[in-house]
Amino acid sequence: MKRPRVIANFALTADGKVSTRNFTDTTFTSPSDKRRLKEIRALGDALLVGGRTVAADTMSLGLSAVDLREKRLARGQPAEPLRVIVSNGGTLDPEAKVFHYKSRPPVVFSTRRMPESQRTKLSPLCDLWLFPEKSVPLDSVLNLLHRDYAVRTVICEGGPSLFRALLESGAIDELRLTWCPLVFGGAGAPTLTGLPGDFLKTIRRGRLKKMETIGGECFLTYSLEGAASSAPKPSRRS
């Protein structure tokens, strides 16, 4: 089954935290990293995030940098990546910024656990796909993005639960990290794969491709190996 190339991008503290215990945006990185995030975001045909991350960070998932938009257009891409949200329960706010940003409507992948009233509210605001399973099968999501939306490269910006699920399914091809010289501490603050708990089913090994330091931050790029599996098809809500 064909799928896009998946690049995950995270910033984390020296003790491995990617957010606070409330999973909120901490803005702990430098302007250099924020520019780097936009540059990485501009590489993708699609930008993939979990519903909890959208809610916590009040994200539009847009690409505001004019120069990066122009470069995409020069490459024959749309000005901004397709915005894609995964939410198992479908508890997304129809008034959220992501649904009213002036760009192509986002694509939402959820399950039939989403109440009918919520489906009615979201359907006019996005392309809504519903799976019969209790959780969204990410391999099918990637296949649909490749097949129906011509997506060849996906940039995943989290959160940790989505990243872990992609990692365990073998779908992460590249991991880009910004290592920041800060220490948060706190058992309730998530790491790259979420709160402390079970080990991954399989240890994932990366190969360092690039390392760069700017102003105390370390930018790392790792390549990972893996392969996606098959899963049932969803129904599309028109």
Given this model, what pLDDT does residue 81 score? 97
The helix (H) or strand (E) run that includes residue 162 is: helix 160-168
Given this model, what pLDDT does residue 188 score? 82
Q: Is the pLDDT of residue 187 over 90?
A: no
Query: Is the domain defined by 5-237 classed in CATH 3.40.430.10?
Result: yes
- 89: its two tokens: 């329960």
Q: What is the rounded average pLDDT of the residues 8-29?
A: 78
Q: Is the pLDDT of residue 25 over 60?
A: no
- 160: its two tokens: 């940790």
Among the listed residues 55, 59, 57, 77, the one whose alpha carbon sits nearest the alpha carbon of residue 68:
77
Q: Is the pLDDT of residue 56 over 80?
A: no
19, 14, 10, 178 alpha-carbon torsion, rounded to 10°: 140
Percentage of residues in the chain having pLDDT higher than 70: 91
Among the listed residues 5, 7, 65, the one whose alpha carbon sits nearest the alpha carbon of residue 35:
65
Q: How far is CA 113 from the centre of its chain?
A: 21
> Ranked by mean pLDDT, which of 19-23, 28-32, 124-128 comes out on top?
124-128
CA distance 16 to 24: 15
CA distance 4 to 27: 29
**Per-domain boundaries in the chain:** 5-237
Q: Is the pLDDT of residue 238 over 70?
A: no
Given this model, what pLDDT does residue 132 score? 96
Among the listed residues 81, 84, 80, the one whose alpha carbon sits nearest the alpha carbon of residue 128:
84
What is the per-residue DSSP string for 88-145?
A: SS----TTSGGGTSSSSPPEEEEETTS-HHHHHHHGGGSEEEEESSSS--HHHHHHHH
Would the CA dihedral through 27, 29, 31, 35 be positive or negative?
A: negative
End-to-end CA distance of the chain: 25
Cβ 185 vs Cβ 32: under 8 Å: no
Q: Kindly report the three-state secondary structure assignment for every residue of 171-219.
A: CCCEEEEEEECCCCCCCCCCECCECCCCCCCCCCCEEEEEEEEECCEEE
For residue 110, the cross-strand partners are 130
Q: What is the rounded average pLDDT of the residues 108-112?
A: 97
Q: What is the rounded average pLDDT of the residues 114-124?
A: 96
What angle, 0 to 180 degrees and rounded to 10, lies between the N-to-C axes of helices 138-149 and 160-168?
90
Q: What is the rounded average pLDDT of the residues 231-238?
A: 53
Cβ 207 vs Cβ 36: under 8 Å: no
